[in-house]
Structure 1
Amino acid sequence: MITIKEVAHHAGVSMSTVSYVLSGKRSISEETKRRVEQSIVALGYHPNAGARALASNRSQVLGLVVPLRSDHNMPVIMQFVSSIVASARDFDYDVLLLTKEAGPGEAHRIVARSMADAIVMMDVESADPRVPELRALDAPVVLLGMPDDHEGLSCVDLDFAAAGKQMVNHLADLGHRSIALIGSHPSVYDRGTSYAARLLDGFQSAASKRNLSASVHSCAPGYDSVAACLDDVLRPDRGTTGLVVHNEAILGQLLLDLRRRSLDVPTDLSVITLCPDDLAESLAVPLTSMAVPAQELGAIAVEMAMARLGQELAPEVRLLQPRLTERGSTTAL
């Protein structure tokens, strides 16, 4: 392994000069700086992470808080994680993945122990108990999600309320008068998860505005759970003709069960969903969908956190507008 001493010898300077070039703590002439940088490239030197942290008072680590729960759809979660890791590497940062449930005090512990310079937090609740702590934290924090009380916090997310409204309006514009929302696992609503609550609010407000008959059903994954959910959704007295599905984990099973019931999509039942594009395209029946832009959201969260390192930037909230892609799973009545 190449050492700083070897770089200094190759460049014809002292070890302290190389250190100052790496840390930027002292002004070095452009000629000397160029010579040191050329030696670093020529020798393939990589600064030791610990030494770099001491020199800069930074750990070069981004903390990612993402509790792994049984009601999470792991393939979608991993799209967010992979985007955050890749984006952090663009800033020469590593990612510390914290997967246990993080209550109040966890973010302070991470920062106080110099485990991370900034934090991105997922799995945000509408009434998130961590909000007071996050406001007082002496480090950048970006929420991938948006609590109801987000004053003073930086957040980025999909506009789930707008997504719920647009999916309802899409079905209403096609003439559907009785629709249903098949939503997330019951525990997601019990926990007060922000994204689920906001989509539900958008769904209900749009259905009311369009004078639609609308029912709401939470659904756990698994054959029996999906079958029982559809038994309720498709009760004859409901007359349901359009489904909004906000539950990636059940989409495959739902389509199989509709086929078992001899129901054709979209002839007998129109279906629109919120999920990543690659999932919507790969199903037995490609579904018209609102995209979950996991790659874009993860990259923006990292950029917002990095921009706030060492700078007093005002908190900001970025809600990405949903994008509808039609794939033929909805039709006019």
Structure 2
Amino acid sequence: MMAKIHEVAEAAGVSISTVSYALSGKRSISPSTRDRVEQAAARLGYQPNAGARMLAGRRTNIFALTEPFRPDTHAPTHMSFVLATSIAARRFDYDILLLTDAEASAGMRRVSASGLVDGILVLDVAPRDDRVALARSIEVPTVFIGVPEDAEGLVCVDLDFEAASALAIDKLADAGHGRVGFVGHSEDAYERSNFPRRVRHGLEVAAQRRGIALSVVSPREGEAGRGDLRDGLRRLLQDSDVTAIALHCDDSAHRLVLAELAAARLSVPGDVSLVSIGSTFDTGSLSTPIDRIPLDPHASCELAVELAARLADGDTVEAGVRLLAPQYRDSGSVSPPR
């Protein structure tokens, strides 16, 4: 069992505050007293906690990354953000402590109380996220990679999903498409995470602005969702007015869409145009390359880590939402309808 500071004080014959000052260097202590304290600490195996180091003005050079893992977590997407955050942190000489509690606020509360970290990065942000109130109540600098509904006073970084959706609709509208299908997430995902609803809302607003009719397919999660997706796609393809499909879904759903189009003997883009929104994987490597407006984990995580490092250094960072401009990657999957 680790020794306590009062045990070091008793062994050295000094007060607890003297132990703190001797080990932190915060105040001048006589050499003989410092030697007694250091010898007692070494003999007892005492180590000051991270909070004490922070009070002494020393950084831990650790950022916590709170990323709740749930049974429905899409691991490849989430891990791409974990990896991107870790790479960015190393460039700023920080290590990452990954908090995967399903109850996301628990781990965040734990590290903020211990003083173990210099900052906290928040992933998988829900519309009404418990970590929002917690971030406002703790002293540890916190940066959200994502945007909750109530972002007042927070530092947030994310792709501008609404602009990405508008970019997709404009591309299809400019090509002459008047009715567009949309393959999205399950309805549960729109309650659980904030970015899917921002994509869908952005599509609805942009479609109305351009006079485009939008037909939505929202399959369930898991194996049942594959059947939902097939049924939804067949309904879309039976509607002769649907000449394009926007995709905001995982890589397996993209492949299923391409397989269904091939089974129906429909070509891309000759019969149906496709655009992928917010993908973290390379849609250009699919059996049929698909135009994409990517979600780049490295860009958002790099900025988030930079802001967290500045906050840890005591710099003033203005609260607010910082949205990254979307970029269109053309793979030739959009053309005028026949």
TM exceeds 0.5?
A: yes
Q: Tell me whether 1:202 sits opposite 2:202 in the alignment.
A: yes
Alignment partner, residue 238 of structure 2: 235
1:115-154 equivalence runs, <5 A: 115-154=116-155
Alignment partner, residue 302 of structure 1: 305
Q: Tell me whether 1:331 sits opposite 2:331 in the alignment.
A: no
Q: Tell me whether 1:247 sits opposite 2:252 in the alignment.
A: no
Q: Tell me whether 1:317 sits opposite 2:318 in the alignment.
A: no
The alpha carbon displacement at 1:282 in A equals: 0.9
Alignment partner, residue 292 of structure 1: 295
The alpha carbon displacement at 1:52 in A equals: 12
Unaligned runs of 5+ in 1: 1-22, 27-47
8 Å contact from structure 1 (residues 111, 117) kept in 2: no
Alignment partner, residue 286 of structure 2: 283
Give the secondary-structure state (helix, strand or coil) at the position aligned to 2:293.
Answer: strand
Do the aligned partners of residues 24 and 311 (structure 1) sit closer, same or farther apart at CA in structure 2, a change above 3 Å counting? Answer: farther
CA separation in 1, counterparts of 2:184 and 2:52?
Answer: 45
314-323 vs 158-167, greater mean Cα deviation: 314-323
8 Å contact from structure 1 (residues 245, 273) kept in 2: yes
1:147-186 equivalence runs, <5 A: 147-186=148-187
Q: Let me know the Cα RMSD of the aligned residues.
A: 2.6
Do the aligned partners of residues 70 and 186 (structure 1) sit closer, same or farther apart at CA in structure 2, a change above 3 Å counting? Answer: farther
Structure 1: which amino acid aligns with 2:247? V
Give per-residue Cα distances to partners, 1:222-247, cap 9 Å, x unaligned. Answer: 542431231233233x6211111000
Give the secondary-structure state (helix, strand or coil) at the position aligned to 1:332.
Answer: coil
CA separation in 2, counterparts of 1:51 and 1:143?
Answer: 23
Give per-residue Cα distances to partners, 1:102-128, cap 9 Å, x unaligned. Answer: 344542322101232211111112222
Structure 2: which amino acid aligns with 1:317? V
Structure 2: which amino acid aligns with 1:100? D
Q: Tell me whether 1:211 sits opposite 2:215 in the alignment.
A: no
243-252 vs 156-165, greater mean Cα deviation: 243-252
The alpha carbon displacement at 1:60 in A equals: 2.0
Do the aligned partners of residues 108 and 68 (structure 1) sit closer, same or farther apart at CA in structure 2, a change above 3 Å counting? Answer: closer
Give per-residue Cα distances to partners, 1:42-98, cap 9 Å, x unaligned. Answer: xxxxxx998998365433211101122344432222221111111112222211111
Give per-residue Cα distances to partners, 1:295-330, cap 9 Å, x unaligned. Answer: 111111111111101334321321001000111111
Unaligned runs of 5+ in 2: 1-23, 28-46
CA separation in 2, counterparts of 1:190 and 1:155?
Answer: 19
Give the secondary-structure state (helix, strand or coil) at the position aligned to 1:303.
Answer: helix
93-102 vs 215-224, greater mean Cα deviation: 215-224
TM-score by length of 2: 0.78
Give the secondary-structure state (helix, strand or coil) at the position aligned to 1:266.
Answer: coil
Alignment partner, residue 3 of structure 1: none
8 Å contact from structure 1 (residues 179, 244) kept in 2: yes
Give the secondary-structure state (helix, strand or coil) at the position aligned to 1:289.
Answer: strand
CA separation in 2, counterparts of 1:52 and 1:204?
Answer: 48
Do the aligned partners of residues 277 and 49 (structure 1) sit closer, same or farther apart at CA in structure 2, a change above 3 Å counting? Answer: farther
Structure 2: which amino acid aligns with 1:142? V
74-83 vs 154-163, greater mean Cα deviation: 74-83
The alpha carbon displacement at 1:136 in A equals: 1.9
Residues matched between the structures, number: 288
TM-score by length of 1: 0.79
Alignment partner, residue 270 of structure 1: 273
259-268 vs 181-190, greater mean Cα deviation: 181-190
8 Å contact from structure 1 (residues 145, 155) kept in 2: yes
8 Å contact from structure 2 (residues 99, 108) kept in 1: no
Give the secondary-structure state (helix, strand or coil) at the position aligned to 1:201.
Answer: helix
Do the aligned partners of residues 213 and 52 (structure 1) sit closer, same or farther apart at CA in structure 2, a change above 3 Å counting? Answer: closer
8 Å contact from structure 1 (residues 185, 221) kept in 2: no
The alpha carbon displacement at 1:160 in A equals: 0.3
8 Å contact from structure 1 (residues 127, 148) kept in 2: yes
Give the secondary-structure state (helix, strand or coil) at the position aligned to 2:282.
Answer: helix
